[in-house]
Amino acid sequence: MSNPSLLILPGDGIGPEVMAEVRKIIDWFGAKRGLAFDVSEDLVGGAAYDAHGKPLHDDTMARALAVDAVLLGAVGGPKYDNLDFSVKPERGLLRLRKEMDLFSNLRPAQCFDALADFSSLKKDVVAGLDIMIVRELTSGVYFGEPRGIFEEGNERVGVNTQRYTESEIARVAKSAFELAMRRGKKLCSMEKANVMESGILWREVVTEVAKDYPEVELSHMYADNGAMQLVRWPKQFDVIVTDNLFGDLLSDCAAMLTGSLGMLPSASLGAPMANGRPKALYEPVHGSAPDIAGQAKANPIACILSFAMALRYSFDQGDEAARLEAAIQQVLADGVRTADLMGPEGGVAVTTSGMGDAIIQALDASL
Ligand code: IPM
Ligand code: MG
């Protein structure tokens, strides 16, 4: 049997730097755990624009559809701010999500013990936090039609459309219930049914899907209250399911609970392929961080944890994913710190590659 295939799209800003550390980790699993991957690499975002005049080449799109999983770094940067909307780096990422039909975006917010002091919230509010946000990723206001900037009378009007079909809601709800079954069996659905018809439908469909999961305790919350509850007492949540735009906002908020955006991975999953694996793209939640790009300061952990999610969700290697996560816990407990993680208590300051090397050492020690 051939090795599973991985397409790596480092992208822009700190993307290539953090991805270089992921490559070390992938190589380690090939050499030490007999888990070899066929790895190929390509361009996305501003890097693709510079080479091809568009943020995702059709050939890259075709390759993404053909591989077992895609690993992406980050896209965007000030250099591209004034580009036409249709060729902005972000459009490359949105095209990947849409054409791969990655409707279920898993964004865990987990607080590592060694970093509980890092949150802007009190330690007891975040210590031990482990929640999962499931964000709908291929519909809603990000893609709804009509959209555009139109002339109306003597002024312009900007239009976007929030639109959800029942089947779109049902499939993401189902993926969230499945996840809840494997975790704490609690699911909170967030929308704005008090002001939006799409929210009313969302609530109805989620309630309908819940009938297939009698063991899961389902609750509903208006998304604004949800944002408030996330910072008030986040441990009340296990799994949260919400739409594309609310999920974008709520996941940034949840990410910061954990102390650093540099720690948070994500998985974007679609329907199963012929080989039974879901179509999948893994990426850190952080962006391209142009302010620190090229300075060896970036924290590669979010991207490395994204690979751990790939091991778990695409390759059925939950034990190896846990090994990698434990190695990261160990390194953090040992006080190894990239700049974003350096607090008043100090620690061992390392560069991006220093962090990657420390994780490799901890992996070696795990054998
Ligand atoms: C995210 C990002 C993207 C989004 C951007 C880069 C298009 O903020 O993945 O959360 O809005 O979905
Ligand atoms: Mg976002």
| DSSP string of 243-308, one letter each residue | -HHHHHHHHHHHHHHTS-GGG-EEEEEEEE-TTSPEEEEEEESS---TTTTTTT----HHHHHHHH
Model pLDDT, residue 115: 84
* pLDDT at position 184: 97
Q: How many CB atoms lie within 10 A of CB 320?
A: 17
Query: What is the Cα–Cα distance from 348 to 247, expressed in whole angstroms?
Result: 35
For residue 224, indicate whether it is catalytic: yes
Superfamily (CATH) of domain 130-256? Isopropylmalate Dehydrogenase (3.40.718.10)
Q: CA–CA separation, 257 vs 264, rounded Å?
A: 11
State CA 339 to chain mean position distance. 22
Architecture of domain 1-110+261-367: 3-Layer(aba) Sandwich (3.40)
Segment 121-125 mean pLDDT: 92
Whether residue 186 lies in the annotated active site: no
Q: What local confidence, expressed as pLDDT, does residue 256 receive? A: 83
Strands 130-136 and 186-191, sheet pairing: unpaired
Ligand at shortest distance from the CA of 76:
1
93 Cβ below 6 A of ligand 1: yes
**pLDDT tens, 245-290?**
999 999 989 988 887 778 899 999 999 898 889 999 999 988 999 9
DSSP state of 4: P
Average pLDDT, the chain: 96
* 192 tagged catalytic: yes
- pLDDT for res 112: 86
Atom 10 in ligand 1: residue holding the nearest Cα: 248
* Active-site residue, selected from the candidate residues 192, 238, 279, 297: 192
| Residue 1: pLDDT over 80 | no
Q: What is the pLDDT of residue 339?
A: 93
**pLDDT on residue 255:** 84
Q: Which DSSP helix (H) or strand (E) runs through 72?
A: strand 69-74
Would you say residue 344 has pLDDT above 90? Answer: no
Residue 27 in contact with ligand 1 by CB distance below 6 A: no
User: Which residues surround the ion ligand 2 when the cut-off is CB under 5 Å?
Assistant: 248
Residue 80: active-site member: no
Domains of the chain by residue range: 1-110+261-367, 130-256
Q: Do domains 1-110+261-367 and 130-256 have the same CATH topology?
A: yes
